[in-house]
Amino acid sequence: MRNKAIQVKGLQKSYKQLHVLKGVDFDVEAGSIFALLGSNGAGKTTLVKILTTLLKPDDGTAIVNGFDVVEETDKVRKSISLTGQFAAVDEILTGRENLTMIAKLRHLNNPRQVADDLLNRFGLIDAANRSVSTYSGGMRRRLDIAMSLVGNPQIIFLDEPTTGLDPEARLEVWKVVQELTEQGTTVFLTTQYLEEAEQLADRIAILHEGKIIANGTLADLKNFSLLQRWSM
């Protein structure tokens, strides 16, 4: 059996009178793709912020790579990476310069080689010396994910990574995500799109009004009535 990369139990979070997370429980297996499916306002981003130590929960526990997100924030941060809804790349720099800069910030040996390895892996080597401002949406997102993998984090969090992308660019990102687990990376993906969760995830959890209302493989959830309504 795989080890648990993430363990969440009884997680709660409120903003003043708004109760966003209402006792969330789930586990994520190491080396898998886990999709958190939910509409806008369901609490997906709040949950990701807690798991990545950007926000403290009001109650409950979250263990990431064996470390408590509240008590061992530095250890959690060293073993994860987060890619938000919009590509965090410098458009003035080239693709190679973006990656080299991150490698230097993380004090890695031979940052240029690190950059070139990732450019090759993500199919961007031919555009390595072009300004990112000339990249398509799909290329920018691929570069953004590549930057998140500098230093080989054990877990990568992708918060709605295909938001705003056209269908072709979405397919590009899907291919990249599927390839991540081949390298042993655990992927935690949030999405509003059922099709995306179906295509990518080993397990899917549905977050609705702050609670997990379903959690399992796609086969497990096929007969779940709320999943059927989601796809309508």
Query: For residue 190, what are its two tokens?
Result: 């949030």
The neighbouring-strand residues paired with 212 are: 207
**In degrees, to the nearest 5, what angle opens at C-alpha 39 toward C-alphas 165 and 26?**
110
Q: pLDDT tens, 154-172? A: 999 998 888 777 888 788 8
Distance CA(68)–CA(76), nearest Å, equals 7
Residue 56 belongs to some domain of the structure: no
Look at residue 139 and tell me whether its pLDDT is greater than 70. yes
The residues pairing with 159 across neighbouring beta strands, listed in sequence order, are: 190
Would 223 be classed as within a structural domain?
yes
Is residue 58 one of the residues assigned to a domain? no
C-alpha triplet 208, 221, 10: angle, nearest 5°: 45
Q: What percent of the chain has pLDDT over 70?
A: 94
The pLDDT of residue 229: 52
Structure tokens at 230: 């989601």
Q: Is residue 89 part of a domain?
A: yes
> For 41-68, what is each residue's pLDDT tens digit?
889 999 999 999 999 999 999 999 999 9
User: What CATH number has the domain bearing residue 132?
Assistant: 3.40.50.300
In a domain, 4, yes or no: no
Q: Tell me whether residue 132 is in a domain.
A: yes
Taking residues 181-193, report their average pLDDT. 89
Asked whether the predicted pLDDT for residue 232 surpasses 60, the reply is no
Per the domain annotation, does 13 fall within a domain? no
**Domain assignment of residue 21, yes or no:** no
Query: What pLDDT, in 10s, does the model give residues 80-110?
Result: 998 876 667 888 999 999 999 999 988 899 9
> 192: Cβ–Cβ under 8 A, 6 or more apart, which residues?
37, 38, 39, 40, 160
pLDDT at 9 over 70: yes
Range of the domain at 100: 32-44+74-230
Total domains in the fold of the chain: 1
